[in-house]
């Protein structure tokens, strides 16, 4: 008699066999391509593994882990970053039950690296006990959130409000309040590493997405002035490289602000990234608006809906659903473009890597290791965004009729 475990193993084996047959050996041409590519891929895998495990030296990473994570953020205020990370993982744990597979996959993407860092023996990963303890505390936040959502009946509305409030609380914690001794002000110019990369990407996404929607709607407006202004803005920004915008905001923005007002370099970088990404987002959204059949608008008018309700309840949701791949692609591009701020003197993850290599003679021969590490970090987060996007697309039936 076949046990449940044997049946499960048989099912997994069958799935693997079917995938290999359908994707690698489905036709004579695929068989030929597989046989030609496989030896090269196998050699590349073995060589890369040997370099990573035996030949590469990772001292520049393991001895400067805190710098790569948070830059020059004051050590006495590190509890703030721990609190922000704890709040985020706690909300992910709460979201596990309420929002289903999207947050479950996102939680696993975050938790697996954290738990791996905790469990990998020091002989293989030489980082401090304090940092391991910090990762363990952050992981506990997820567990507490999971238990809370399991035993408390929390609504989706409460969850959305909690995520929105957490963004404000996180920013106040990280930045502090001028003149308040319990939470001293920490200039964003002292932020760096992965913290700064995350901050630029998250704020850029939160600001450029609504900006892109307003610009796309404005470009389709029947008012000549509104339409013309949006067209000029979009086409002008799309014709300029992001590097140029970064330099322009660095030099011009202080001249445009009223006397007594100041905007630090991080704020100017966010302005450039938001404007640049918003212009491209507008074209993605405009494509989605154009894909919505005219009959949807006519049906809304027949039901007595006005232009505002027709746009917000009927047209815009369908338009955004149709262009989810393009929108997420723009988010991924924005996340990678944050590395350009190193040109204007901000030490994001790439800037920290460059500073560590060029600022320490002992690490000058570890440039390859440093940039491989940075590339791996960017790959993990961009792949995660793409993976979550695919889950959302399947749940919404994008591409299905």
Q: What is the mean pLDDT of residues 294-315?
A: 84
- What pLDDT, on a 0 to 100 scale, did the predictor assign at position 149? 74
Please, are residues 319 and 219 in contact by the beta-carbon 8 Å criterion?
no
From CA 29, how far away is CA 147, in angstroms rounded? 52
155 vs 270, higher pLDDT: 270
From CA 104, how far away is CA 106, in angstroms rounded? 5
* Confidence band for 81, pLDDT divided at 50, 70 and 90: confident
Say yes or no to pLDDT of 95 above 90: no
Taking phi first (over 0 means left), then psi (-120 to 50 degrees means alpha), and beta for anything else, what does residue 127 get? beta
Q: Which of 79-83, 149-153, 193-197, 323-327 is predicted least confidently?
A: 149-153
From CA 122, how far away is CA 120, in angstroms rounded? 7
Q: What is the mean pLDDT of residues 221-242?
A: 90
Q: What is the mean pLDDT of residues 212-219?
A: 91
Q: Where in the chain is the domain with CATH 1.10.3720.10?
A: 196-401
* Confidence band for 212, pLDDT divided at 50, 70 and 90: very high
From CA 60, how far away is CA 62, in angstroms rounded? 6
* Confidence band for 8, pLDDT divided at 50, 70 and 90: low
135 vs 306, higher pLDDT: 306
Percent with pLDDT over 70 in the chain:
86
- What pLDDT, on a 0 to 100 scale, did the predictor assign at position 229? 92
Q: What is the mean pLDDT of residues 140-146?
A: 80
Read off the pLDDT of residues 233-248 as tens digits, 9 standing for 90 and up.
999 999 999 888 888 8
Class (C level, CATH) for 196-401: mainly alpha
From CA 56, how far away is CA 95, in angstroms rounded? 39
Say yes or no to pLDDT of 401 above 60: no
Q: What is the mean pLDDT of residues 218-230?
A: 89
Say yes or no to pLDDT of 290 above 80: yes
Q: What is the mean pLDDT of residues 347-362?
A: 84
String of b and e for 103-118 (b: at least 16 CB within 10 Å)? beebbebbbeebeebb
* Confidence band for 130, pLDDT divided at 50, 70 and 90: low
Q: What is the mean pLDDT of residues 340-351?
A: 86
The Cβ-side half-sphere exposure at 58, using a 13 Å CA radius, reads 16
Q: What is the mean pLDDT of residues 282-297?
A: 88
Which residues, including other chains, have CB under 8 Å from residue 95's CB and lie 6 or more apart?
Answer: 103, 107, 145, 149, 159
Which residues, including other chains, have CB under 8 Å from residue 269's CB and lie 6 or more apart?
Answer: 200, 246, 249, 250, 341, 344, 346
Q: What is the mean pLDDT of the chain?
A: 81
* Confidence band for 7, pLDDT divided at 50, 70 and 90: low
- What pLDDT, on a 0 to 100 scale, did the predictor assign at position 277? 93
């Amino acid at each position: 008699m076949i046990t449940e475990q044997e049946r499960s193993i048989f099912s997994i084996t069958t799935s693997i066999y079917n995938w290999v047959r359908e994707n690698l050996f489905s036709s004579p041409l695929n068989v030929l391509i597989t046989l030609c590519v496989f030896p090269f891929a196998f050699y590349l895998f073995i060589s890369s593994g040997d370099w990573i495990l035996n030949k590469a030296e990772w001292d520049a990473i393991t001895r400067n882990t805190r710098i790569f994570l948070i830059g020059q953020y004051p050590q006495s205020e590190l509890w703030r970053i721990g609190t922000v990370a704890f709040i985020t993982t706690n909300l992910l744990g709460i979201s596990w039950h309420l929002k289903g597979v999207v947050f479950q996959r996102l939680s696993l993407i975050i938790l697996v690296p954290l738990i791996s860092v905790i469990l990998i023996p020091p002989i293989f990963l030489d980082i401090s006990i304090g940092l391991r303890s910090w990762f363990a505390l952050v992981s506990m936040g997820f567990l507490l959130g999971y238990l809370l959502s399991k035993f408390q009946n929390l609504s989706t509305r409460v969850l959305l409000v909690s995520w929105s409030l957490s963004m404000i609380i996180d920013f106040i914690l990280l930045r502090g309040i001028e003149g308040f001794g319990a939470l001293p002000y920490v200039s964003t110019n002292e932020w760096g590493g992965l913290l700064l990369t995350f901050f630029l990407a998250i704020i850029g996404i939160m600001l450029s997405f609504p900006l892109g929607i307003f610009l796309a709607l404005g470009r389709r407006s029947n008012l000549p002035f509104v339409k013309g202004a949006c067209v000029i803005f979009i086409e002008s920004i799309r014709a300029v490289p992001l590097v140029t915008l970064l330099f322009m905001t660095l030099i011009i923005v202080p001249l445009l602000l009223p006397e007594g007002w100041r905007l630090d370099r991080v704020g100017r970088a966010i302005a450039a990234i938001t404007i640049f990404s918003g212009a491209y987002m507008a074209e993605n959204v405009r494509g989605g608006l154009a894909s919505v059949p005219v009959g949807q608008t006519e049906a809304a008018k027949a039901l007595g809906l006005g232009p505002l309700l027709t746009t917000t309840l009927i047209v815009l949701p369908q338009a955004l659903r149709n262009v989810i791949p393009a929108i997420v692609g723009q988010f991924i591009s924005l996340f990678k473009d944050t590395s350009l701020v190193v040109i204007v003197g901000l030490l994001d993850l790439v800037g920290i890597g460059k500073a560590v290599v060029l600022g320490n003679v002992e690490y000058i021969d570890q440039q390859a290791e440093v940039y491989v590490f940075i590339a791996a970090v960017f790959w993990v987060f961009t792949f995660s965004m793409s993976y979550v996007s695919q889950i959302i697309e399947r749940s919404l039936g994008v591409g299905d009729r």
